Structure 1
Amino acid sequence: MNRASSLKLDPCSRPDLIALRRWVVAFCIIRFDLEQGQVIEECFPPASVSQDEELNVAFSSFPDSMSQNQNSASIHDCMFFFRFRRRGTAPDALKAQEDSVPPDTVRPLNVETRSNVDNSDVVSSTGDDGNDEGGSGGWTNSSVLSALASVLSPRSIGGESSGKQVFDSAELHNSPPVEHPHLSEDHPPAMQRVGSQNASGTDGNDFLYGYVFNRQRQDQRLKRGGEQKSVVILTRKPFSSVFKPLLQILGPLCFDIGKKALDHVATFVSRWPSPVLGELMDLPIGSASLKAYLPPACSLTSDYGSSYDEFVSAMAPFPPLNHSIPQGLFHEADLFGMFRGIILQIWMLWELLIIGEPMLIIAPTPSQCSEAVACIVSLAAPLPCSVDFRPYFTIHDHDFSHLNSLKEGDQFPPMILGVTNFFFLKALRSIPHVVSVGGSVASSSKTPMAARSSNGRKQDQQGLQLSSLKKFSPSNLIHAVKMRRDGPLSLMTEHKEAVWSTYQPTTKPDTAVLNRLVDAGVTPRVEESMSVVNNEILRRHFLELTTNFLAPFGPYLRVTTPSEGTSPFVEPPSLPSFHTHEFLGNLSERGPGKFLSKRMRANWLDLY
């Protein structure tokens, strides 16, 4: 197949490097050399990242030895992505184009007032009984959610508060930032958005995403019987719905025509319009076209650096829930397909994410662990994920030395780490929650959906456990006891989907939601279709769950609207002061509301 024919360009065409930066930082081709290790053969544009970042990219772009053993095909392609903290300063001239907001300033925060709303109101699309999962409703405002995310943002790995917002050069036409005079000690430090820089001079909260197309080829004529090479897209934008399809074009094309593919694809990408958050974008690439929804501005992490216009646009109330419009980051991740083996544990994973607990996600391959991390992050919608997440984490990441130095009793920073190397099970013993997903056993140990009776009525939740009871045997019992005794280290002898945690969740698995999930068919096409349906059911449920959980915080994030004729130079109104004991006392008296009371246990206040 000649893929190059669909990407024909005028011989004089050259990519606009400034415009390219709206989407991509760099394209890389990385080869694994037997003598030198990982070698970056090509980086376009040249010198787009620092030397420290080059090393991180090179080491993160290949599966480790464990995941390589899972494959026996002569040619094996896989795709995954990683995320790492930026370090150092890129030497290229374009770096000067990446202007940013001064570190100790913020955009003014004006939250639209909604009157006559009791703070015990519940955001629900279910009606009074809470059994229906459609429609929309409630007072929730996405700017409230965006502001709340910064309030709840846990400290970064180095103990720093939330970093400065970074803006693309194309967005600098907006009004200049002003210092906010009302963010005092009454508000958590994260709310103040005080920027801080690390020793390298780079914002400690600025991250790069790397989308990887890796090819392993077995050939007995070569040393060690094979070779492998990776094609990587480096970007500051967590737009998996765009970069995964783009990588499916770029990866094979690089193996067909070599480094010329980078220049061809860069030219097309530089002609794309600027990203419009929350909208469907049509992005031409040769004779093809990528159609993808971008996540809304309110769901993006602080390192993305949304412009002021994007932030203001997030003030409009949420539109009615739509099956095709993403409400958060990584909306396209296969939530059901990745966690169907531990389907009853998703509610606990949601809680751990909401309260900022560290998690270690281990899987046989980088594709599986990065997809699992994306799925967990997507559960935060419509909030941005304030926890530092690493879809594919290796021992070569600069942050590993800090994590490995933590002593017993030290608090592990709020992170979600996706790994494939069993070494992390021993090196990071202090991490309190370990989740094992993926593997060849996934297809044979899938948890069945709740059974239905012949008349279609939903049966008791105990039906979820019937198949596991039927499979009871002494050997299974011994195996279960061994897994409990050895903990996550039991994965070193046999991979199995499981969750190890001492956390007692407050939220109960929703039987109504589980009963609506459709069991997958026997063919991959049918299974994929069923996953799409099931993903929508799960996402709508957790979107409602998150919004209802946030409802009591609403009054603390609404300010009085300035009266008509007020001078624009007057200081903006301050947010109400937040006092923890007062908040919990009032919440205890009012209760969690209908939606949450049906889905949480008696100790629901502990979650707050």
Structure 2
Amino acid sequence: MCSCLLQKTNICYLSFPDSYSGGLGDTQFSFRLRQSGGQRNTHFGDDGEYNREAPLTLQRESAHYFGYVYFRQVKDSSMKRGYFQKSLVLVSRLPYVNLFQSLLQLIAPEYFDKLEPCLEAVCNEIDQWPPPVPGQTLNLPVMGIVIQVRIPSRVDKPGSSPLKQFNQENLLPAPLVLPSVHELDLFRCFQPVLIHIQMLWELMLLGEPIVVMAPSPTISSEMVLALTSCLTPLKYCCDYRPYFTIHDSEFKEYTTRTQAPPNVVVGVTNPFFIKTLQHWPHLLRLGELKMSGDLPKQVKVKKLTKLKTLDAKPGIYTSYKIFLHKDKTLIKRLLKGIQRKRPSEVQSALLRRHLLELTQSFIIPLEHYIASLMPLQRAITPWKNPPQIRPFRQEDFMKTLEHAGPQLTCVLKGDWLGLYRRFFKSPNFDGWYRQRHKEMTQKLEALHLEAICEANIVAWMKDKSEVEIVDLVLKLREKLIRARCHHLPVKEETLQRVGLYIETIIGSLPEDLQTVLHHH
């Protein structure tokens, strides 16, 4: 099957709930699918620029698509099956779940009534939208409404929500202001598992394979997205599938028992998966939310061996032992908040801040250690290649923890060392390290270019042979191209000075060589 057709088939299967019985009205959920074959993301010229300024967790993905679904199923005797069922799906490379689901809430009901012409008009409007620029507030007109949203930027302070309403006076009617392009109602998603938030954070940090078994695609996709957002500002580097069906082309890959399960969090609704994914180490089984008194009923942690039947009770089926102790104060605050009818967004903010502080406490010692591997600035000299970044040695890092470990910023006790050792084996460590190493390498190249600019090039050329001088011209040219292509953190005037240097050096050479170099 050609990869494009396969992609379409996958999207079709993912756009309908797996286990629906007639007349359930409207429902929304999300999925994520691997781009199959063909060209990888070549038609986004601004990818590099957007990704450099966007938070790592909101970068545009080149190998995956996100699907946002609005599904309607209502009784209709004029239809062959006895009911109308249709899905409107928005496919994007951006993980803007809140923006796109809000957009679908406006478009889909209209589309189900008026069908194609309405969609054409909407697509024309969306085509006129400005591109997402991190740090900017955008006004997005659609169907007589203006959606106003701010695109987060890498320089935002973690944990702040900087959206204020802008240019209110000249926007009539008043815009629909979205507090965030991507944030979910974390508290609502995590209600049945509040007392296990510590365990879920650890499982996500370590990139463990998890099955989320839920009664609907809405609950499955929200739980998977809530889990992957637990690690902010650290990027979750494993695969995740908010909603997954047996028709998916990766089905065989995930259900094979001949190898260890992949590092994926997969959200499913079909009970058949309990049987096929029994060899996975962690299964979170969710039911419809039940209350005990005025508090949400919390699921229990159970042994995997208890997972025998298709109607297994809600629970976390795992033999995982947590490294850190639970934060009882947080859980008490959240439960008290429920009793006091504290608004969901306030509860979510509490939860998000707790997870952010936990992740930062874990990551800050790693950031300090990796920064110490950077060569000293005085070791960067203009006419030698920049010195190398020293290698990351896990044991050296572990020694720093005694004086500069997470205990400085986090009250949680437990086996932090064990958690770090396990983290080093996970794709999340690998992804974090590669990203930091790349940023440091670019910083070194930028510092090297600045050192060249401050050097006295004429003095250097005095006793050099033509071969050495030509070699320098070629090297500087290559550096200039790299700086522009990779958008190195270098001032424009520095780049212009390097350009002038190249001209000066070429000008000092015999004419025949000048001609060759100008054409080179």
For the criterion TM > 0.5, the same-fold answer is yes
Give 2:10's aligned residue.
56
- Aligned positions of 1:260-275 closer than 5 A: 260-275=117-132
Q: Is it true that 1:369 corresponds to 2:323 in the alignment?
A: no
- SS, match of residue 386 in structure 1: coil
Aligned match for 2:25, one of 58, 69, 76: 76
Q: Is it true that 1:543 corresponds to 2:356 in the alignment?
A: yes
Q: Is it true that 1:427 corresponds to 2:273 in the alignment?
A: no
Alignment partners' CA distance in 1, 2:216 and 2:193 = 18
Deviation of the 1:276 alpha carbon: 1.7
- SS, match of residue 253 in structure 1: helix
Give 1:443's aligned residue.
290
Asked if 1 retains the 8 angstrom alpha-carbon contact of 2:300 and 2:316, the reply is: no
Alignment partners' CA distance in 1, 2:357 and 2:256 = 39
- SS, match of residue 593 in structure 1: helix
Deviation of the 1:100 alpha carbon: 9.4
Aligned match for 1:319, one of 135, 147, 157: 157
Which structure ranks higher in relative contact order (CA pairs < 8 Å, sequence separation ≥ 6)? 1
Deviation of the 1:393 alpha carbon: 0.8
> Normalising by the residue count of structure 2, what TM-score does the alignment of the two structures yield?
0.68
Deviation of the 1:252 alpha carbon: 1.0
Question: Compared with structure 1, are the counterparts of its residues 227 and 580 closer, same or farther at alpha carbon in structure 2 (3 Å cutoff)?
Answer: same
RMSD between aligned residues: 3.9
Asked if 2 retains the 8 angstrom alpha-carbon contact of 1:241 and 1:294, the reply is: no
- SS, match of residue 232 in structure 1: strand
- Aligned positions of 1:89-108 closer than 5 A: 89=38, 97-98=43-44
Alignment partners' CA distance in 2, 1:347 and 1:324 = 28
Alignment partners' CA distance in 1, 2:217 and 2:74 = 17
Deviation of the 1:388 alpha carbon: 0.6
Alignment partners' CA distance in 2, 1:422 and 1:64 = 10
- Aligned positions of 1:456-605 closer than 5 A: 487-490=306-309, 492-493=310-311, 495-496=313-314, 498-517=315-334, 530-558=343-371, 559-560=374-375, 562=377, 574-588=388-402, 591-596=405-410, 598-601=411-414, 603-605=415-417
Asked if 1 retains the 8 angstrom alpha-carbon contact of 2:198 and 2:324, the reply is: yes
Q: What amino acid maps onto 1:51 in structure 2?
A: L
Alignment partners' CA distance in 2, 1:248 and 1:429 = 37
Question: Compared with structure 1, are the counterparts of its residues 62 and 571 closer, same or farther at alpha carbon in structure 2 (3 Å cutoff)?
Answer: farther
1:379-406, Cα deviation, whole Å (9 max, x unpaired) = 1101221111110011222221112223
- Comparing 230-239 with 250-259, greater Cα deviation is found at 250-259
Asked if 1 retains the 8 angstrom alpha-carbon contact of 2:60 and 2:95, the reply is: no
- Comparing 343-352 with 272-281, greater Cα deviation is found at 272-281
Alignment partners' CA distance in 1, 2:103 and 2:152 = 17
- Give ranges in structure 1 of 5+ residues lacking alignment: 1-46, 111-141, 150-164, 168-204, 297-313, 450-466, 469-478
Question: Compared with structure 1, are the counterparts of its residues 502 and 401 closer, same or farther at alpha carbon in structure 2 (3 Å cutoff)?
Answer: same
Question: Compared with structure 1, are the counterparts of its residues 584 and 484 closer, same or farther at alpha carbon in structure 2 (3 Å cutoff)?
Answer: closer
Asked if 1 retains the 8 angstrom alpha-carbon contact of 2:282 and 2:317, the reply is: yes
- SS, match of residue 217 in structure 1: strand
Aligned match for 1:384, one of 232, 235, 253: 235
Aligned match for 1:414, one of 246, 259, 263: 263
Question: Compared with structure 1, are the counterparts of its residues 331 and 279 closer, same or farther at alpha carbon in structure 2 (3 Å cutoff)?
Answer: same
Deviation of the 1:223 alpha carbon: 3.6
Question: Compared with structure 1, are the counterparts of its residues 356 and 494 closer, same or farther at alpha carbon in structure 2 (3 Å cutoff)?
Answer: closer
Question: What is the identity percentage for the equivalent residue pairs of Structure 1 and Structure 2?
Answer: 31
Alignment partners' CA distance in 1, 2:77 and 2:29 = 27
Deviation of the 1:486 alpha carbon: 5.5
Alignment partners' CA distance in 2, 1:231 and 1:88 = 25
Asked which structure has the greater CA Rg, the reply is 2
Question: Compared with structure 1, are the counterparts of its residues 366 and 166 closer, same or farther at alpha carbon in structure 2 (3 Å cutoff)?
Answer: closer
1:5-38, Cα deviation, whole Å (9 max, x unpaired) = xxxxxxxxxxxxxxxxxxxxxxxxxxxxxxxxxx
Q: What amino acid maps onto 2:311 in structure 1?
A: T
Alignment partners' CA distance in 2, 1:590 and 1:95 = 42
- Aligned positions of 1:68-467 closer than 5 A: 68-69=20-21, 74=23, 76-89=25-38, 97-98=43-44, 206-220=63-77, 222-296=79-153, 314=154, 316=155, 319=157, 321-324=159-162, 332-407=183-258, 410-439=259-288, 442-445=289-292, 448=295
Deviation of the 1:588 alpha carbon: 4.8
Alignment partners' CA distance in 2, 1:446 and 1:323 = 34
Asked if 1 retains the 8 angstrom alpha-carbon contact of 2:364 and 2:406, the reply is: no
Deviation of the 1:80 alpha carbon: 0.5
Alignment partners' CA distance in 2, 1:77 and 1:222 = 18
Asked if 2 retains the 8 angstrom alpha-carbon contact of 1:391 and 1:418, the reply is: yes
Q: What amino acid maps onto 1:80 in structure 2?
A: F
> Normalising by the residue count of structure 1, what TM-score does the alignment of the two structures yield?
0.58
Q: What amino acid maps onto 1:533 in structure 2?
A: V
Alignment partners' CA distance in 2, 1:570 and 1:282 = 50
How many residues in Structure 1 have an aligned counterpart in Structure 2? 401
1:233-290, Cα deviation, whole Å (9 max, x unpaired) = 0111111121011111121121121112221111111111110225443222132111
Alignment partners' CA distance in 1, 2:279 and 2:46 = 37
- SS, match of residue 102 in structure 2: helix
Deviation of the 1:605 alpha carbon: 0.9
Deviation of the 1:573 alpha carbon: 5.4
Higher helix share: 2
Alignment partners' CA distance in 2, 1:535 and 1:580 = 35
Asked if 1 retains the 8 angstrom alpha-carbon contact of 2:159 and 2:356, the reply is: no
Deviation of the 1:83 alpha carbon: 0.3
Deviation of the 1:340 alpha carbon: 1.5
Alignment partners' CA distance in 1, 2:325 and 2:300 = 23
Q: What amino acid maps onto 1:578 in structure 2?
A: F
